[in-house]
Structure 1
Amino acid sequence: MEKGLSLPTERKQPRRWEVVLVEEVKRTCYIALPMVVVMVSQNLLRVASMSMVGHLGELELAGTAVATSLTNVTGFSLLFGMASALETLCGQAYGARQYERLGQDPLISIEARKFSVWLIPSLFPYALLQLIIRYLASQSLIFPMLWSSIVVLVIHVPICWALVFKLDFGAAGAALAIGISYTINVIFLVIYLYNSKSCEKTRVTCSGDVYSSIKEFFRFAIPSAVMICLEWWSYEIVILLSGLLPNPQLETSVLSICLTVDILHYYIPYSFGVAASTRISNELGAGNPEAAKTALLAVSAIGVMEAIIAITTLFCSRSVLGYAFGNEKELVDYVKDMTLFICFSIFADTIQTILSGVARGTGWQHIGAYINLGSYYLVGIPMALVLGFVLHLNGKGLWSGLIIGIVMQCIMLTLVTCFTNWEKQARKARERMFEGALSDEE
């Protein structure tokens, strides 16, 4: 070969964006679809309990609804929100390969007090369960949670039935069954954590600067809790306000059914949000901002398709939906009238839940907290009060106010996401992880 001549080198062609998107959809579905089963089956523990209580009578159902609202406001939402900080920290650490850093009706009030007291013990296993779920999800270890959740749900139904009807505990038995089931689920997952080879690199140790890790956790946990709590509390406030409407037992019962159906579906897009948070935090931690944007696009497409299917199914079954929670014709007809409102909230919830997952993955929960504060408490709740009490639209007015708040939340989250500098977020994620690693070494 003559001097100065060389064979042409083969250039590696960049992959087409369609191929990259399809691959990202597959990765997202691998996380999201099993996560849907995990979250929905865990929420079905409460749905099953409420369904059984509903067949005891309208008063018991209304009391359980108020109790559920109070315990969500004072306990479950706070624990759920604080655990969400791990979606940022664990996800980005895993991507960076820093594995070691991972005034009501008195009768309703009496029933609510009984249910609330028996539900308190479930807060402890619930807190542990939420932390374990975020820890496993950040590493895409979804299937252990899937199988444990299914098994626990199968166990929960006969336990709840026995406590409510056979042993005559009534509504208190339904609350007690929830705590028992959460405890069983935690036991299953803890056994997996300490025996699985998949968790060897990330298993908790006592080495390193524990103080700095705790400080970093609370830096994200507090705004995460505020972000989640502000959203959850708005729904619970509406349920409590429904007790001040004419015919409070019917209004509270129907709105609690609407909330139960909405929350049951909520965990489907929330699972997509977890997938978005996991993929985005992993890619930002690995320094791949383009892959993070592709993950957002893939999750959004899947979420919209699922929402259309869910809304169509719900609207077609509106005539029989109420029978799952009671046999009174007045209740069933009211639920049928409310179904269209639930469909609107489901679609808007899908968008905001996925974008909230993006917020947790990138680490701007504090911005999400301000958005939720403005959307629900400066817009949604005031509109609910005007429509429900001033214009006398009752339950439909209260729920319409919530829908307005959700739409405002979607608009604000969309604007923040569109103006996100992904390169900057990837750089900040890398700095956060490796600065923490250096402080641990020191």
Structure 2
Amino acid sequence: MGTKVFVEMRKQLGLAGPLIASSILECSLQTISVIFVGHLGELSLSSSAMATAFAWVTGFSVMLGMAGGLDTLCGQAYGAGKYSMLSIHMQKAMVVLVVVCIPIAILWAFSGQILLGLGQDTEISVAAESYARMMIPSLFAFGLVQSHFRFLAAQNLVLPILLSAGSTSLLHLLLCWLLVYKTSLGNKGAALAISISHWFNLLLVLAYVRLSPACKETWIGFSKEGLHVHGVLEFIKLAIPSALMTCLETWSFDVLIILSGLLPDPKLETSVMTVSLNISSLTFMICYGFGTAISTRVSNELGANHPKDARLAVRVMLSLAAVEGLVVGLVLFSARNICGEAFSNEREIVESIAKMVPLLAFSHIMDGIRCVLSGAIRGCGKQKIGAIVNFVAYYFVGIPTSSLLALVFHFRWKGLWAGLMCAFLVQDLTYGIIILRTNWEKEALKASGTV
């Protein structure tokens, strides 16, 4: 048993390491832009932060979530040895995601009016709309990149994902410096840099999938079967609940941004919440990498009809996530007095962030457990259950508690985050119960196509 645990741990670290690094690098595109813009002034920071939040809540989270349907389809197909199906599944995803991008792009074009309708500051809303419009091209590239990343991850081809994300981040640093500080674009230059970087990332991953011998068996070229109505519906049935799993969670974070705009000092409160979410998002990418890795491991083992190995994979990954959570939480707490300085020169913002970081450190521990359990649920194809859990956790527990603590009891941004942590706790407990009650033998039979 000890040998199996060691072998499983080595597999998971080999998967999770590059996935964590690539997730952090990919997330860093938004964060790098906010950092560059933050030094232009409080309005630039708050408006770009508002636009970034709006873009995530209405677009990027939808793409990320819908692509999660490939975690199940590609992962189980690869485990079952049905290699050509990975190409077909990815083509379905690409078609669906591009179509979904069109109405989202229209929404972004009128984001300023929407933010004003939600009661946001006029000056912030107008500037946020200009920022969001410059990011529209990035939306289409992001959806296609996510489809390719899931296709590669299902085959355990994670190093190309890391190299692509790393190259893109380096380019993005240069672009932000040039477009923000060396042109008259200002904060809009940071948004344009995001669009250029995402398209560069897409070109890199397209070249690898179509030219690499590693994808020779799984990439069969474009096929009519990938456009078959039945096959597209098969993807949509998983993609919609998968998107809801991601979006219901992501939307709750952005509701906090909107709520922070209703507090007495909206520019300060919005800036503090945005910087906190950026810090949390960066550390969350470690957990997200664990979640993607366990989703791959579970779906591969279920597709290969190895239920005991799938169950063992979940237990090992939970142990790794718990250790990582404690380590990163301690690092965050130790660096609490300097975290804010990376995002702003405003002393009040920096001091407020220092007070918020202990809460971020504690919530990161819960993030790791939640991501592993939700990743296992995606690997089993139980996205519908996950969507229900997230809806209850955030919209019946988290957001009402945040609103009460921040707006009624006047705990401001601390109250907003404390309510969110209540939602994390509900998720962790409910996901844990679901995984404990999972019939792994039955799931393996379904995934391997023997029933």
- Please state which band the TM-score falls in when normalised by the shorter chain: over 0.9
Q: Does 1:357 align with 2:375?
A: yes
**Partner residue of 1:118?**
134
Q: Does 1:152 align with 2:136?
A: no
In structure 2, distance between residues paired with 1:78 and 1:42: 16
- Residue deviations 1:144-167 (CA, integer Å, cap 9, x gap): 111111111111101111000101
**Partner residue of 1:417?**
435
Q: Deviation of residue 212 (structure 1)? A: 2.7
Q: Deviation of residue 169 (structure 1)? A: 0.9
- Residue deviations 1:77-122 (CA, integer Å, cap 9, x gap): 1111000000000000000001122211111112211111111111
**3-state DSSP of counterpart to 2:251:** helix
Q: Deviation of residue 233 (structure 1)? A: 0.1
RMSD: 1.1
TM-score, normalised via structure 2 length = 0.91
**3-state DSSP of counterpart to 1:39:** helix
Q: Does 1:38 align with 2:18?
A: no
In structure 2, distance between residues paired with 1:66 and 1:249: 10
In structure 1, distance between residues paired with 2:440 and 2:239: 22
**Partner residue of 1:438?**
none
**3-state DSSP of counterpart to 2:46:** helix
Q: Deviation of residue 369 (structure 1)? A: 0.2
Q: Which moved more, 1:299-308 or 1:19-28?
A: 299-308
Q: Does 1:177 align with 2:179?
A: no
Q: Larger Rg: 1 or 2?
A: 1
Residue identity in the other structure for 2:139: L
In structure 1, distance between residues paired with 2:315 and 2:279: 27
**Partner residue of 1:246?**
264
In structure 2, distance between residues paired with 1:352 and 1:247: 33
**Partner residue of 1:139?**
155
- Residue deviations 1:32-69 (CA, integer Å, cap 9, x gap): 00111111111111111000010001111111111111
Structure 1 spans left out of the alignment, 5+ residues = 1-16, 436-442
Residue identity in the other structure for 2:9: V
Q: Deviation of residue 207 (structure 1)? A: 5.7
Structure 2 spans left out of the alignment, 5+ residues = 87-118
Residue identity in the other structure for 2:76: Q
In structure 2, distance between residues paired with 1:101 and 1:165: 47
Q: Does 1:24 align with 2:8?
A: yes
Task: Give 1:277-296 correspondences, 5 Å limit.
Answer: 277-296=295-314
**Partner residue of 2:78?**
94
Q: Does 1:77 align with 2:61?
A: yes
**Partner residue of 1:52?**
36
* 8 Å contact from structure 2 (residues 30, 52) kept in 1: no
- In structure 2, which of residues 334, 356, 359 is the aligned counterpart of residue 316 of structure 1? 334
Task: Give 1:227-246 correspondences, 5 Å limit.
Answer: 227-246=245-264
- Residue deviations 1:310-369 (CA, integer Å, cap 9, x gap): 111111011111100111111111000001111122111111111110011010000000
Q: Deviation of residue 430 (structure 1)? A: 1.7
In structure 1, distance between residues paired with 2:187 and 2:220: 39
**3-state DSSP of counterpart to 1:194:** helix
- In structure 2, which of residues 236, 240, 243 is the aligned counterpart of residue 218 of structure 1? 236
- Residue deviations 1:214-269 (CA, integer Å, cap 9, x gap): 12111100100111100000000011110000111010001001100111111111
Residue identity in the other structure for 2:2: E
TM-score, normalised via structure 1 length = 0.93
In structure 1, distance between residues paired with 2:385 and 2:141: 30
Q: Does 1:307 align with 2:291?
A: no
Q: Does 1:199 align with 2:199?
A: no
- Residue deviations 1:266-286 (CA, integer Å, cap 9, x gap): 111111111100011000000
Q: Which moved more, 1:370-379 or 1:163-172?
A: 163-172
**Partner residue of 1:65?**
49
* 8 Å contact from structure 1 (residues 376, 405) kept in 2: yes
The alignment covers a number of residue pairs equal to: 417
**Partner residue of 1:374?**
392
In structure 1, distance between residues paired with 2:334 and 2:220: 48
- Residue deviations 1:163-195 (CA, integer Å, cap 9, x gap): 001012111110110111110111011111111
In structure 2, distance between residues paired with 1:204 and 1:318: 50
Q: Does 1:399 align with 2:438?
A: no
Q: What is the percentage of aligned positions where both structures have the same residue?
A: 41
Q: Deviation of residue 201 (structure 1)? A: 1.0
- Residue deviations 1:359-410 (CA, integer Å, cap 9, x gap): 1101000000000000000000000110010111111111111111111111
Residue identity in the other structure for 1:295: A
- Cα–Cα, structure 1 residues 326 and 208, in superposed 2: closer, same or farther, change >3 Å? closer
Residue identity in the other structure for 1:387: L
Residue identity in the other structure for 2:345: N
In structure 2, distance between residues paired with 1:353 and 1:261: 17
In structure 2, distance between residues paired with 1:88 and 1:96: 12
In structure 2, distance between residues paired with 1:204 and 1:80: 24
